[in-house]
Amino acid sequence: MRACALIGYTRSNLYYHRKPKDDEPIRTRLQDLAAQRPRRYVRGNAVAPVHAPNERWSLDFMHDTLASGRRLRVLMIIDDFTRECLAVEVERGFSSRRVISVLERVAFERGLPRILRFDNGAELTSHAMLRWGAERAIELHFIDPGRPTQNAHVESFNGKARDEFLNLYSFLALDQVREAAAAWLIDFNEVRPHSAIGNLTPAEFAETLIINQHLQESAA
């Protein structure tokens, strides 16, 4: 063709058809890798009810400042079923690995959850967190941006924490915040009854579940 000659294009290329390749080995290998390292996370999901301890933990951060104006962050972790506060961690800032270390510390005492629920903060959506969740076989549920009601349990908890210890004092140092947080945590778990769990404290409710489980196992 004259057009091909003008642009220096080989005519045989017009009639070339790419031969299909056998991609089955590659496809099989990718499936194997996906099974070994699944990315177990869900985004924009509805909040499902929970039926047992450690079924789902919710995480969130609060921000505050010391009297000097220096900023601090507070990591909150709760069990959505027992309503126990599992950790109130105070730092100037949190990396993904710091969050993971707190989760591992809590899990050492009570085991890992099936689901973790949190917002879209950088320390929670990082590769390190996704990899940790996959290695631990934990489903990571991210709420939609700007939809805090999807994490209602921890949002309500945060409101109590802010009103009852963060807003009550003007802290001079992180250690003071940590001491106040530890005292408030004990009060929340062991002293304050909650209507959602039969007007028991979270600690009482969790203990009742353990006793009932032992009774069921003994009767079986």
pTM of the model: 0.74
When the candidates are 3.60.40.10, 3.30.420.10, 3.20.20.10, 3.40.50.300, the CATH number that belongs to 51-209 is 3.30.420.10
Ordered per-residue pLDDT tens for the chain, 220 residues:
554 454 454 555 545 455 555 566 765 665 554 445 444 655 555 667 899 999 999 998 999 999 999 999 999 999 999 999 999 999 999 999 999 999 999 999 999 999 999 887 888 888 899 999 999 999 998 877 655 555 566 677 788 888 888 998 899 999 999 999 999 999 999 998 988 899 999 999 999 988 888 888 777 7
Token match 């999807």: residue?
A: 150
Show me where the domains of the chain are located. 51-209
How many residues belong to the chain?
220
Beta strands (DSSP E) in 27-151 are 41-43, 56-65, 71-79, 85-91, 115-118, 139-142
pLDDT value for 219: 77
Whole-angstrom Cα distance, residue 176 to residue 66? 10
Task: Please say whether the beta carbons of 116 and 60 come within 8 A.
Answer: no
pLDDT value for 37: 46
33: left (phi over 0), alpha (psi -120 to 50) or beta: alpha
pLDDT value for 218: 78
Task: Please say whether the beta carbons of 84 and 154 come within 8 A.
Answer: no
pLDDT value for 89: 96
pLDDT tens digits for range 179-190: 999 999 999 999
